[in-house]
Amino acid sequence: GENVEQHPSTLSVQEGDSAVIKCTYSDSASNYFPWYKQELGKRPQLIIDIRSNVGEKKDQRIAVTLNKTAKHFSLHITETQPEDSAVYFCAATARLQAQLWSRAINQAGTALIFGKGTTLSVSS
């Protein structure tokens, strides 16, 4: 089944530096790649997402790049601030192994598979 690998697991940067988190996926049918930020004790919240027909997307200090050929996508945070400190999760849509035979290519039978997370620490 689908596997999403996320690196690094921890990342420490100085305020103002850039931070890059990388993810790889295995299912070539994946077509949606969101990034979530989770502060300690809080719920995950979407910070940016990208669809498979786009190579790059930016939102102020945050950008995501997607390379479908290589099956990897990355989160870039520029001019980091202490409030960027959190755990970041990447995810990719993937067909669930048990349902490959029973579902057409639609929303049913697919899932969001998450990476294991990157703990980003920004020190001032």
Partner 1 sequence: NAGVTQTPKFQVLKTGQSMTLQCAQDMNHNSMYWYRQDPGMGLRLIYYSASEGTTDKGEVPNGYNVSRLNKREFSLRLESAAPSQTSVYFCASSEAGLVNEQFFGPGTRLTVL
Q: Are the CB atoms for 73 and 65 separated by under 8 Å?
A: yes
Query: Which residue in 23, 33, 34, 124 sits closest to 79, CA to CA?
Result: 124
| Binding to partner 1 in span 15-34, by CB under 8 A | 31-32, 34
Q: How far is the CB of 49 from partner 1 (least distance, A)?
A: 7
Q: How far is the CB of 76 from partner 1 (least distance, A)?
A: 20
- Find the binder of partner 1 among 15, 51, 54, 59 (CB under 8 A): 51
- Find the binder of partner 1 among 66, 113, 120, 122 (CB under 8 A): 113
d(CA 122, CA 16): 9
Q: Which is nearer to partner 1, 102 or 124 (CB)?
A: 102
Choose the stretch contacting partner 1; rule: CB under 8 A; options: 12-20, 60-68, 72-80, 99-107: 99-107
Query: CA angle 67-20-111, nearest 5°?
Result: 55
- Find the binder of partner 1 among 29, 54, 98, 100 (CB under 8 A): 98
Cα 53 to Cα 8, 32, 65: the distances in Å are 26, 9, 11
